[in-house]
């Protein structure tokens, strides 16, 4: 009689779970067409008899179900050690984040996805996207808003161990001056709930000249209910005149609800942004620069950063340099400049060791000591 083993772990745990749970699992796999009814019946008999001879072909069938175009599961996480010469705690070692990612498609026109963050538990993304053609896609749910190039990167693809101070404070991340974090107390990773249209236009040799994204968003960040009677707008327009080079910009217009310094009560405040962006990518060299001008409740803010990265060993080892200027109040020039040097070594696909050194130079108006920080980070992805 043919022996069917769904997966090795099931054989090890079969004696620890109830018969009803086993039956439910088998019925679900038959419903999903992973197993036939006869195969499920054989598994019931072999598990009852205590026979545990695995069939690799059936194991592969189950594995392929969880990594098909219709359903894909993966994840990544970062754990980091940081030394700072000015923080009260000089040495810090902790898990920064852990993302569980599921995505796939129902058919050739409709895709879906969701992302869970498990270190500070939250639903980061949950969306569906309909594609009429490459010129027009419609996406609805919670996802990254079209707001700067660096913000579109996730921690697993970001070149440095952390986002630029400019991005962290002006695009809805974890910066101390980020008014969106003041509103909901979360690191929103540039995400929000809304609906967005996007696409690529004007085909050229090997690429498209125009990329666009525009949408309407709630403006409250991840998994946060509406707090006012307005919706926010975000849009980005990029031109790619030659393969690998993009130039463009965009805008964000909205409101945030929080307690402003010196105020007596929580109220709505304007949260507007204008930005210019450019990046270049080749096999060995990548570069990116962005300028952002912001208005938070009448406080004018500005940031600009530039990054260059070169692969000493293709896809294995790269070095980088980054300069990041941020002014949190242009009326008094409360400024800081971060200078970062870094190295990334990939020991497996999307798995790497990163080392960053950052020197931060604060103006007198900022009221902080100049600092040195070193971060070593391990990233694992599956």
User: pLDDT tens for residues 84-99?
Assistant: 999 999 999 999 999 9
Assigned domain for 39 exists = yes
Mean pLDDT of 235-254: 97
Q: Are residues 16 and 82 in the same domain?
A: no
Q: Are residues 38 and 145 in the same domain?
A: no
* Residue whose structure tokens are 């010469």: 85
Mean pLDDT of 312-330: 97
Assigned domain for 2 exists = no
What pLDDT shows up at residue 262? 82
Burial 135-148 (b: 16+ CB within 10 A, else e): eebebebbbbbbbb
First to last CA, the chain: 36
Q: Give yes or no for residue 171 having a pLDDT over 50.
A: yes
Question: Domain range for residue 324?
Answer: 72-381
Q: Are residues 264 and 296 in the same domain?
A: yes
Q: Are residues 21 and 149 in the same domain?
A: no
Query: Which of 50, 65, 80 is the endpoint of a domain?
Result: 65
What pLDDT shows up at residue 67? 76
Q: Are residues 347 and 293 in the same domain?
A: yes
Whole-prediction pTM: 0.82
Q: Are residues 152 and 273 in the same domain?
A: yes
Q: Are residues 40 and 138 in the same domain?
A: no
Q: Are residues 139 and 12 in the same domain?
A: no
Long-range contacts: 210-215, Cβ < 8 Å, 24+?
Answer: 210/237, 210/238, 210/239, 210/240, 211/236, 211/237, 211/238, 211/239, 211/240, 211/246, 211/248, 212/236, 212/237, 212/238, 213/146, 214/146, 215/139, 215/145, 215/146
Sequence-distant (6+) residues with CB within 8 A of 49 are none
Q: Are residues 58 and 182 in the same domain?
A: no
Q: Are residues 323 and 248 in the same domain?
A: yes
What pLDDT shows up at residue 1? 41
Q: How many CB atoms lie within 10 A of CB 121?
A: 8
Burial 186-201 (b: 16+ CB within 10 A, else e): bbbbbbbbbebebbbe
Q: Are residues 59 and 80 in the same domain?
A: no
* C-alpha–C-alpha distance, residues 269 and 267, integer Å: 7
Query: Which of 65, 88, 114 is the endpoint of a domain?
Result: 65
Domains of the chain: total: 2
Give me the chain's average pLDDT, please: 88
Q: Per mean pLDDT, which range of 217-221, 259-263, 319-323 is the poorest?
A: 259-263
Report helix, strand or coil for 205: coil
CATH of the domain at 353: 2.40.160.10
């Amino acid at each position: 009689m043919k022996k069917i083993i769904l997966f090795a772990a099931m054989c090890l745990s079969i004696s620890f779970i109830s018969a009803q749970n086993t039956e439910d699992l088998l019925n679900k796999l038959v419903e999903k067409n992973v197993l036939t009814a006869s195969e499920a019946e054989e598994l019931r008999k072999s598990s009852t008899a205590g026979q545990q001879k695995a069939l690799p072909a059936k194991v592969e069938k189950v594995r392929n179900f969880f990594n098909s175009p219709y359903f894909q599961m993966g994840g990544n996480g970062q754990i980091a050690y940081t030394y700072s010469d000015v923080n009260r705690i000089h040495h810090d070692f902790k898990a920064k984040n852990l993302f569980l990612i599921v995505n796939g498609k129902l058919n050739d026109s409709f895709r879906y996805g969701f992302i869970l963050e498990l270190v500070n538990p939250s639903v980061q993304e949950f969306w569906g996207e309909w594609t009429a053609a490459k010129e027009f896609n419609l996406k609805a749910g919670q996802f990254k808003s079209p707001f700067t190039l660096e913000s579109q990167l996730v921690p697993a693809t970001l070149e440095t161990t952390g986002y630029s101070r400019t991005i962290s404070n002006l695009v809805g991340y974890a910066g101390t001056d980020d008014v969106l974090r003041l509103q909901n107390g979360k690191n929103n990773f540039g995400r929000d709930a809304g609906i967005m249209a996007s696409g690529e236009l004007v085909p050229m040799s090997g690429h498209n000249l125009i990329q666009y994204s525009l949408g309407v968003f709630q403006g409250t960040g991840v998994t946060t209910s509406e707090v006012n009677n307005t919706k926010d707008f975000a849009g980005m327009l990029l031109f790619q005149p030659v393969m690998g080079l993009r130039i463009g910009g965009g805008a964000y217009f909205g409101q945030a609800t929080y307690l402003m310094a010196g105020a007596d009560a929580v109220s709505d405040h304007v949260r507007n942004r204008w930005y210019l962006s450019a990046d270049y990518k080749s096999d060995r060299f990548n570069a990116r620069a962005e300028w952002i001008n912001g208005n938070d409740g009448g406080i004018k803010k500005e940031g600009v950063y530039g990054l260059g990265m070169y692969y000493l060993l293709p896809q294995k080892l790269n070095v980088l340099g980054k300069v990041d200027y941020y002014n949190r109040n242009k009326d008094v020039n409360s400024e800081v400049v971060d200078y970062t040097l870094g190295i990334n070594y990939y020991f497996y696909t999307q798995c790497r060791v990163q080392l960053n050194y950052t020197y931060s130079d604060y103006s007198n108006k900022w009221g902080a000591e100049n600092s040195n920080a070193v971060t070593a980070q391990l990233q694992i992805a599956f």
